[in-house]
Structures are given as structure tokens and as C-alpha cells.
Amino acid sequence: MELTAKQKKQQLKLKTARRDQYKRYTRSTGGNVLYTLFLLIFGLYSVLPMIYMVVTSFKPLDELLVFPPRFFVIRPTPANYQILPSLLDNLSVPFSRYLFNSLFISIVTTVLHVLVASMAAFILAKTNIKFKNVIFAVVQFSLLYNAYTLEVPRYIIYSSLHMIDTYWIYILPAIPSSMGVFLMKQFMDANVPDPLIEAARIDGAGTMRTFWQIVMPIVKDGWLTLTLFEFIGLWSITPTGTIFSESLKTLPYAAANIVQGGLTRAGASMAVSCIMMIPPILVYLVSQRSVTQTMSSAGIK
């Protein structure tokens, strides 16, 4: 307890020092304007398509078909959103089922992946077990492969494990993805000093305790980032040839059904895409806030 109080004091000191420094070396107004302009110009590239999507989702049909296309909407209408429930009613499974599947798969798999990857990364980064270098070489090597290469042999394994057409097909293959291990190991290498682990061991903390109470709080940045990446990836997951029952399919599949409608559904597909973007944005906002708050670098340097 004493240590944490000390740490807090130190952090406070650091923060005030930073603020003072910021005050003294702050840029001129011209510099600030230049920075903002530079960022705005490049930022437009990332943000324009999104604005366009949102704007388009409010366009009435005749404005959607105008050529050359106009960027802004003249007579905005919520019709594209109002039509969604009736489009979704045509699906053979209630919409809530797709939503549940997507949320369930994304959340469960993200949690499991972050946990498994962090545990493996902790061992790789901070202990000397046998074959450590071999395992890390496998991690790096496997990063270069994508799902295409392994699709057919993987399918054989899925079917021999009786995983086809179950939830397991989404969850199990995503857990041992090596990106998480690589990311977490780098974070631990950079942020967790070895003396801290040794100190914990001398004080009698076991592997479990060291992991939960010392390593994980320090690399909070890392696993929040990993959570974000993993959630975004899983949120858009669509099974290819491994899921056949409608009740196990995910939200992107339902959305794709609407998008397949083509020209007449252009507005509705824009609307459904806008809705699909909301959960990843929420996860980003939540994780980003805590990332900036912790500012890492706790413990000793």
C-alpha cells in the first residue's frame, strides 16, 4: 500500500512537471494553426468516406441516383433507416439472434485471446523456459501467413474436431493468433523492467500473482490496444464455408444480405453500414480514454 501511495505522489510530481514544461515551451499561435492545418488536410482522407457514408444514408432515392454524384444531401430523410426493420424481417432468423451471435463471439473471443496471448507473452518475455527462442521464432514466422494459405488443411482439422457448424469455429481458431503474443511481448519487453519481476519473486509472489498484480497493470496500454484490434477484427468476421445453420451466422452476414440487394438498396446498405460501425467506435473511445489516462510507465525505471 505504501508503495502505491509513493507511486501516486511520484506520478503527480511528474504530471505537474510536465504541465509546467508545457507552459514554458508552448508553440506560437502560427505554429498551432500550421499543425492543425497539416493534420486536417491528411485527416480529410480518413474522415471523408465516413462522412460520405453517413450523409448518403440520409439521401432519398432520387438523390442517390443523381449523376455526377453530389457529396451533400439536400433533402435528408430517415427513410433508409426506417426500411431496415422490414428488410430484416425477411431474414429467416430474428435479427436479435444475429446481434447476439456477433456480440457473444466478439466479446468471448476477445477476452480469451487477450488472456491467452498475454500469458504466453509473459512467459516468453520474462522467464527462461526451454525452447523459448524456438517458440518466439514460430510466433514471428506465423505472423507472415494469412488465412488463405491454411484454409483447406484447417478445414480438415475442423471437421475432425467436429467443430463445423458450431460456435467453436469462430472462437477456437482466433484464440491462438500470434499477433497478440507478439504485441504483448514487445510491450512487456519495453515496459516491464526485469528487476521488478525479480523483486516480486524475492517477496514471494508466484508466477500467477506476478502476472496479475504486477505485469498486467503495467502493460494495460498493451492489452487495451490488443482488445481494440481483436474486437474490430472479430466484429466483422464472416464464416466461409464452415457455418451452415442460419441461427449461427453473424451480423455482418445479415448486413451483407442487405448490401447484396444492389442499386435499389444503396441507401439501406449505407444505413446498415453506419450502424455496424458503432460498436467498434465505442470500443475505441473506451480503450483510448483509459490508454491516455494511465500513461503507462508505472513502477520503477
Site for other proteins in 150-169 (CB under 8 A): 150-154, 156-157, 161
Pick from 86, 133, 292, 293 the residue near other proteins by CB under 8 A.
292
229: contact with other proteins by CB under 8 A? yes
Which helix (H) or strand (E) segment holds residue 18: the answer is helix 2-24
By CB under 8 A, is residue 243 in contact with other proteins?
no
State which residue, 2 or 129, has the beta carbon closest to other proteins. Answer: 129
Residue 4 Cβ vs other proteins, minimum distance, rounded to whole Å: 20
- Cβ-based nearer residue to other proteins, 1 or 293: 293
30: contact with other proteins by CB under 8 A: no
d(CA 149, CA 234): 20
Contact flag: residue 242 with other proteins (CB under 8 A):
no
Interacting residues with other proteins between 92 and 131 (CB under 8 A): 116-117, 119-120, 122-124, 127, 129-130
For position 146 contacting other proteins by CB under 8 A, the verdict is: yes
Q: Does 255 bind other proteins (CB under 8 A)?
A: yes
Determine if 301 is a binding residue for other proteins (CB under 8 A).
Answer: yes
Question: Which of 97/287 has CB closer to other proteins?
Answer: 287
Using N-to-C axis directions, what is the helix angle for 132-143 and 95-126, rounded to 10°?
A: 140
**Residue in 175, 114, 179, 115 with CA at minimum distance from that of residue 141:** 179
Q: Is 73 in the site for other proteins (CB under 8 A)?
A: no
Cell numbers given for 263: 442499386
Q: Does 45 contact other proteins by CB under 8 A?
A: yes
Shortest Å distance, C-beta 127 to other proteins: 5
> 251, 229, 284: which is closest to 100 by C-alpha?
251
Q: Which stretch binds other proteins (CB under 8 A): 81-89, 90-98, 192-200, 217-225?
A: 217-225
* Choice between 161 and 247, CB closer to other proteins: 161
CA-atom Rg of the chain in angstroms: 24
Interacting residues with other proteins between 46 and 65 (CB under 8 A) = 46-47, 49-50, 52-53, 56, 59, 64-65
Rounded to a whole number, what is the distance in angstroms from the first to the last CA of the chain? 19
* Residue 114 three-state SS: helix
d(CA 195, CA 126): 10
C-alpha–C-alpha distance, residues 223 and 119, integer Å: 11
Does residue 11 touch other proteins according to CB under 8 A?
no
How many residues line the site for other proteins (CB under 8 A)? Answer: 115
Rounded distance between C-alpha atoms, residue 243 and residue 164, angstroms: 6
Pairwise CA distance, residues 286 & 108, whole Å: 18
The number of beta carbons lying within 10 Å of the beta carbon of residue 141 is: 10
Could you say which of 16, 82, 288, 290 contacts other proteins (CB under 8 A)?
288
Question: Does position 88 bind other proteins by CB under 8 A?
Answer: no
The interface region with other proteins, picked from 3-11, 82-90, 92-100, 251-259 by CB under 8 A, is: 251-259
CA–chain centroid gap for 91, Å, is: 28
Count other Cβ atoms within 10 Å, centred on residue 207. 16
